[in-house]
Amino acid sequence: MSRVILKMNDIHKKFPGVYALKNAQLDLEYGEVHALLGENGAGKSTLIKVLGGIYKPDQGEIYFKDEKIDINSVHDAQARGISIIHQEICLVPYMTVAENFFLGREADKSKSLFGSVDDNRMNLEAQEILDQLDLDISATQKVDSLSIAKQQMVEIAKALLKESSIIVMDEPTASLSGKEVDKLFDTIKKLKKKDIAIIYISHRMEELFKICDKVTVMRDGEYIGTRETTKTTMDELIMMMVGRELKDLYVKGEHQIGEPILEVRHLSNDKLKNINFKLHKGELLGISGLVGAGRSELAKALFGIDKISEGQVILEGKEISIASPLQAMKNGIALVPESRKEEGLVLIGQVGFNITLPVIEQFDKGYALDNEHEDCLINQYIKSLNIKTPSASQIVGNLSGGNQQKIVIAKWLASNPKVLILDEPTRGVDVGAKGEIYGIMTELVKSGVSIIMISSELPEVINMSDRVLVMHGGQITGELQKEELEQEKIMKLATGGI
């Protein structure tokens, strides 16, 4: 018997104006972890949606367990044991883990007396699966009491329950910290042993080499090639992805670091304890730490989202009060928030609408807005940040993650900030756009803007920062100069070890 479980051949899918998939293909074997790699917009998600029955291909063949099949609906896909774990967590927060597991299937799993839902049995079965994966989660816990990482694990366990033969994981590590990623990888290895095939989508290249057996690269909706991870290099994969050689992802020229511009003294609130640091003009200060260390909370406090209960913030020698984002903006502080979809963008709004939202004041003529000057500014940013959009009136939700992120950055550049806080600036962004975002950051510090960059990606922190603060438990546990930046040192401080 062949080891091939899934064969997708010559898949084509057209949307009006976009040829999303042309000649895409994928061969998957039992017990294999197979990465699907490509920039945003390369067609990965469309291909997955074809597999999951969300889109119907215009052309192409799908063989599943040596049988030619049509996948006409999400139900079809699920019935065959194809589970897709989406990037966004799809659990009902107010229900228990077990209730989530059996959502919509309570009846067939628990035909007890009087047809009532058999909670005990559901809990037991759910617990069994959680234990199989060594997850430290109780089936009777409410989902909203779990960390994001654990919720993700619950999603995976849920797929197991359905007796899946193929599990697709879309950016499973996007919101996980180092230790949690290890845990996830352990789980994946266990799934492999059960002969389950896994399609793994991630922008983090290091991970692919750690966990995947094979990589299929896509570009512009086309199949480019498949490689075994042991027989390829990161450079080769990147070249396949972008279609050209990518010299040095982290472009960082020389730049002048000036006088201190921002000083934070003894800052505390209910999530932060006694934060002290200085930021210099033209400096790129990295903030590292694990999820929950208080990094985003620091950003929120400095931007007036969260209240500061104690301490001082001194900007250019003067103490300032930051009680609202508007006040922060007026003082020249800007924040590109962690989650672009929830906090960064009005997804149903147009590109232009979003870019000028914080600075619309500039175009207020009193009786109306000056649309002509506004359009100029919008087009200028679309051009200078290389935002790939058909026009300024495109709806933001229709663009790729990388382009969305550039729009959030454009929003804040338009306000001409002195201090720009970037919270996970390249999360869920493809390599090409990543390089461009690093380029923008470099340009900014060269022009004298000071940047605070919060990031969970160590290579990014190490290569981009002039100096790094490490946080743990709401406190700054250490400061590392450029010369001292090493992964181990950062991790030690991040986990609270001295």
Partner 1 sequence: MQMEAKVNMPKRQGFGHKVLNGLLGYLKDNMGILVGFGVLCGALAIMSDAFLTPSNIMNVLRQATTNANLAIGLTLALIINGIDLSVGPILAISGTLTSGLIANNGVPIPIAILIGITLGTSLGFVNGKIISKTGIPPFIVTLAMMQIARGAAYVYTNGMPIRVMNESYNFLGNGYLGPIPLPIIYTTVLMVSVGYILTRTKLGRHIYAVGGNIDAARYSGINIAKVQLFVYTLSGFLAAFSGIILCARMYSGQPSVGTGYELDAIAASVLGGTSFTGGVGKIGGTLIGVLVISVLNNGLNLMNVNSFWQLIAKGIVILVAVYFDMMKKKAKPKTA
Q: Which residues in this chain contact partner 1 in the complex, by CB under 8 A?
A: 15-18, 41, 303, 305, 324-326, 328-329, 335, 337, 342-349, 353, 356-358, 360-361, 363-364, 367-369, 372-373, 375-376, 379-381, 383-384, 390, 394, 397-400, 411, 413, 443-444, 446-447
- Name residues whose C-beta falls within 8 Å of residue 43's C-beta, 6 or more positions apart in sequence: 20, 21, 24, 218, 220, 221, 222
Cα–Cα distance between 200 and 203 in angstroms, integer? 10
Minimum CB separation from partner 1 for residue 385, in Å?
8
Minimum CB separation from partner 1 for residue 14, in Å?
10
Rank residues 49 and 434 by Cβ distance to partner 1 and give the closer one. Answer: 49
Minimum CB separation from partner 1 for residue 41, in Å?
6
Rank residues 26 and 329 by Cβ distance to partner 1 and give the closer one. Answer: 329
Rank residues 42 and 84 by Cβ distance to partner 1 and give the closer one. Answer: 42
Rank residues 116 and 321 by Cβ distance to partner 1 and give the closer one. Answer: 321
Quote the strand ranges of 325-382, DSSP E. 333-336
Neighbour-count burial of 144, counting CB atoms closer than 10 A to its CB (0-12 exposed, 13-18 middle, 19+ buried): exposed
- In sequence order, the β-bridge partners of residue 166 are 82, 197
Rank residues 179 and 252 by Cβ distance to partner 1 and give the closer one. Answer: 252
Rank residues 372 and 488 by Cβ distance to partner 1 and give the closer one. Answer: 372
Q: Give the three-class secondary structure for 479.
A: strand
Structure tokens at 177: 């910290």
Minimum CB separation from partner 1 for residue 45, in Å?
10
| Dihedral, 277, 280, 284, 290 alpha carbons, nearest 10 | 0
Rank residues 242 and 305 by Cβ distance to partner 1 and give the closer one. Answer: 305
Rank residues 172 and 417 by Cβ distance to partner 1 and give the closer one. Answer: 417
Strands 260-269 and 272-280: antiparallel
Minimum CB separation from partner 1 for residue 344, in Å?
6
Neighbour-count burial of 158, counting CB atoms closer than 10 A to its CB (0-12 exposed, 13-18 middle, 19+ buried): buried
Q: What angle do CA 150, 87, 342 make, to 5 degrees?
A: 95
Minimum CB separation from partner 1 for residue 337, in Å?
5
Rank residues 274 and 380 by Cβ distance to partner 1 and give the closer one. Answer: 380
Other Cβ atoms less than 10 A from the Cβ of 460: the count is: 21
Rank residues 169 and 408 by Cβ distance to partner 1 and give the closer one. Answer: 408
- In the sheet that 333-336 helps form, which strands lie side by side, from edge to edge? 333-336, 419-423, 450-454, 284-289, 467-472, 475-481
What is the number of alpha carbons within 13 Å of residue 424 lying toward its C-beta?
22
Amino acid sitting at position 143: V
- Greatest alpha-carbon pair distance for the chain in Å reads 76
Minimum CB separation from partner 1 for residue 251, in Å?
14
Minimum CB separation from partner 1 for residue 259, in Å?
20
Quote the strand ranges of 180-293, DSSP E. 197-201, 214-219, 222-228, 260-269, 272-280, 284-289
Minimum CB separation from partner 1 for residue 199, in Å?
21
Minimum CB separation from partner 1 for residue 343, in Å?
5
Minimum CB separation from partner 1 for residue 369, in Å?
6
- Name residues whose C-beta falls within 8 Å of residue 281's C-beta, 6 or more positions apart in sequence: 257, 258, 259, 260, 261, 448, 450
Cα–Cα distance between 90 and 447 in angstroms, integer? 43
Rank residues 276 and 327 by Cβ distance to partner 1 and give the closer one. Answer: 327
Minimum CB separation from partner 1 for residue 357, in Å?
5
Which helix (H) or strand (E) is 470 found in, with range?
strand 467-472
CA 65 to chain centre: 33
Rank residues 177 and 403 by Cβ distance to partner 1 and give the closer one. Answer: 403
CB < 8 Å & 24+ apart, contacts of 205-208? 205/234, 205/237, 205/238, 205/431, 206/459, 207/173, 207/181, 208/35, 208/37, 208/237
CA 405 to chain centre: 11
Structure tokens at 243: 């279609």
Rank residues 18 and 257 by Cβ distance to partner 1 and give the closer one. Answer: 18
Minimum CB separation from partner 1 for residue 164, in Å?
27
